Each structure stands twice: as C-alpha cells, then as structure tokens.
Amino acid sequence: MTVRGLLLLAGLALLLSGCGKQQSQPSRSQSVSNAELQGEWLYDNNCAECHENPQPDLHKQPPNLHGLFRRTSLPSGAPVNDAEVRKTIIEGRGTMPAFDQRLRKEDVDDLISYLRKLN
Ligand code: HEC
C-alpha cells in the first residue's frame, strides 16, 4: 500500500470515530422528556384554543390549567389525578368536547405528562 493510501485510510478512520462520538451525545437536554414535548404540541393544537384564551361564546369559561397538578381538586370538585384528568379529556365535560375520537391513548398519556409540568 502507498503512503497516500495509508493516509487516506487514517483519515477515514478519524472521520468515522468522529461521527460515532457525535451520535452518542444527547441531542437535547434530558430535563424535558419526549412525552412532555409531544404533550406540549398536543396541548397547543387541541386545548390551548380554549384553555389559554377567554371564550366569550361559552356559557362557562374553561378553567386555567397552569399548575393543575399542584391543586387538590379540579374545578368540578373531583380530585386532581391522572384518572380524573384522563376521564375529562376522553369524555369531555359540559361544553368541552370529548377527545376519544381525536386522541390515542398514548396522546392522552403525553398530554398528562405535559399538564403535570405546566406551571
Ligand atoms: C371548546 C373548548 C375546550 C377545549 C378545546 C378543551 N376544553 Fe377543557 N374545558 C372546557 C370547558 C368549558 C371546561 C369547563 C367544563 C365544565 O365544568 O362545565 C373545561 C374543563 C377542563 C378540565 C377541568 C375538568 C374538571 O373536572 O373540572 C380539564 C382538566 C380540561 N378541561 C382539560 C382539557 C384538555 C387537556 C384539553 C385538550 C385535550 C381540553 N380541555 C380542551 C373547554 C375546552
């Protein structure tokens, strides 16, 4: 093998090891999980329209969901836990629509992860 060939091989090896290193580095901060990111997207697209803006047309205003999991009870009086929040999302409540046809079980899980962190 020529010197040139050896140099090329060495260069290639360096390049490959460099790529390997880059891949093993976490691409984003681990403090925000994928579930929460997905949940945030779902919240922005399904819930924020009502829960982040006043709804002059609705007879009853949607409650503010920030800090929900720090409270002991939901506006309806039910305890704050995954099961009750899941039930509200799936079945709806009053003028809030049911999301059973629009969201998958995993989506509801992700939404709950996000709501737990929403301050
Ligand atoms: C069309 C408007 C609208 C949308 C969209 C909406 N909500 Fe609501 N939500 C309401 C209203 C109005 C209430 C109050 C219902 C009542 O008590 O009569 C409510 C109540 C709630 C409650 C409190 C339930 C309780 O027991 O008091 C939770 C939790 C909630 N919504 C979560 C969500 C989530 C999560 C989404 C997105 C998947 C969502 N909502 C989408 C209007 C909406």
Q: Is residue 19 part of a domain?
A: no
pLDDT of residue 12: 57
For atom 36 of ligand 1, the residue with the nearest CA is: 47
pLDDT tens digits, residue range 44-54?
999 999 999 99
Structural domains in the chain (count): 1
pLDDT tens digits, residue range 26-83?
555 567 899 999 999 999 999 999 999 999 999 899 999 999 999 999 999 999 999 9
> What is the extent of the structural domain holding 80?
32-117
Whether 35 lines ligand 1, by a CB cut-off of 6 Å, is no
Query: CATH no. for residue 100?
Result: 1.10.760.10
- Which residue bears the tokens 């309806």? 76
Q: Could you identify the atom of ligand 1 that is nearest to the CA of residue 94?
A: 18
CA 56/CA 78 separation, integer angstroms: 25
CA 76/CA 72 separation, integer angstroms: 11
Confidence label for 4 from pLDDT (cuts 50, 70 and 90): confident
Ramachandran assignment for 47, one of left (phi > 0), alpha (psi -120 to 50 degrees), beta (any other): alpha
Does the pLDDT value for residue 25 go beyond 60? no
- Sign of torsion over alpha carbons 114, 80, 55, 101: positive
Q: What are phi and psi of 79, to 5 degrees?
A: -65, 150
Q: Ligand 1 center to residue 12 CA distance, Å?
A: 57
Q: Is residue 17 part of a domain?
A: no
